Structure 1
Amino acid sequence: MPDLLNQEQRKVTLFSVILMGLTSVHHLYGAIAYHTSWRLHVLLFSIPVLVVTLLLHRAASRPWAFRLYWIITLLAAIILIGIFEGLYNHVLKNVLFFSGFPKSSMEKLYPQGAYEMPDSFFFEISGIMQGIIAIPLIIYFVRLTQAKVIKPKI
């Protein structure tokens, strides 16, 4: 069981780190391409989460460190970046946009100024990749949680 736990944790860490690194590049590019320096605030979030994830991964044999690792992964990587930023802000936006969803409805879901309608391949594909990377991250996170919670019977 410890081997399975370590294997799943390595995968969670890998996908979380990739997600945070991609998020950093995506927002840096968006700030430059759209002249929206306010997008850089995400780097104040993504880079520390990346570093803390790596540090807590190494210390996860301690119960407090694992709990903190688990919470940060769930809240920061999965919910805020993977689901909200990747799946909602980019995957859903692109599906709706390219399926001909009414412009007035798009503007309600994705207000101008905070969101850009698809016009930059790199920006959109890097945003979509955040949602795609979130999927295996969620799968491995669930497996890690199950491996940690479900103890083998002796």
Structure 2
Amino acid sequence: MPDTSNSQQQKVTLFSILLMMLTSIHHVYGAIVYHTPWRLHLLFLSIPVIALTLVLDRLLTPTHNRPWIFRSYLVLTLLASIILIGVFEGLYNHVLKNILFAAGLPENAMGKLYPPGIYEMPDNLFFEITGVLQGGIAIVLIIYFIRLIRNTHYQH
């Protein structure tokens, strides 16, 4: 892989792992403070994604360019880190929820978008900050992911 793509790949790896680590902390904290141990299910996704991302990243070197490894790396990052965690968990579950809550969306409408028992309305600063940070990291990850794809595409 060319140097430019390698630099972008390192950033994608970094932000994917940061997102998964933050999400793990966020869910463990949420499980404790809201007495919802089911939130720990996220660890069954985040820990393997962190491990696989690191392994695939190490296998992708300029001297060992294997297209199937690169495609696996892209699919893993796109599905797990960007879509499941970044877009759904970070942007929808927290960024949008906090915006709608702060804007004063009626309680019944909030309840339809964020059903009680599954979602918590903003009442814990650490939980909400770590949730919103997931959305911020996701945006940065998406930018580097797009750059990685563009740089790789232009190199071939």
TM-score (norm 1): 0.96
The alpha-carbon deviation at position 62 of structure 1 amounts to 1.8
- Confirm or deny that 1:141 pairs with 2:145: yes
For these two proteins, the number of residue pairs brought into alignment is: 152
| Equivalent runs, 1:1-150 vs 2, <5 Å | 2-60=2-60, 61-150=65-154
Measured after TM superposition, the shift of residue 80 of structure 1 is: 0.5
Task: Give unmatched runs, 5+ long, in structure 1.
Answer: none
Amino acid paired to 1:7: S
Give, in angstroms, the shift of residue 148 of structure 1.
1.1
Distance 1:151 1:2 in 2: 7
Unmatched 5+ stretches in structure 2: none
Normalising by structure 2, we get a TM-score of 0.95
Question: Segments of 4+ in structure 1 off by > 4 A?
Answer: none
Letter in 2 for 1:122: F
Deviation at 1:150, TM superposition (A): 1.6
**Within 2, Cα distance between the matches of 1:71 and 1:25?**
24
Alignment partners' CA distance in 2, 1:27 and 1:65: 30
Q: Output one character per residue of 1:46-97: Cα deviation in whole Å (capped at 9) or x when no partner.
A: 1110110011001123211111000000000000000000000000000000
- In 1: Cα distance, 2:33 partner to 2:149 partner: 39
**Aligned residue identity for 1:87:** L
> Is contact 2:2-2:155 (8 Å) kept?
no
Once the two structures are superposed, residues 15-64 of structure 1 have per-residue CA deviations (whole angstroms, 9 ceiling, x without a partner) of: 00000000000000000010000000000101110110011001123211
- Secondary structure (helix, strand or coil) at the match of 1:50 reads helix
Distance 1:131 1:47 in 2: 19
Q: Deviations over 1:130-151 (max 9, x none)?
A: 0000011000000000111122
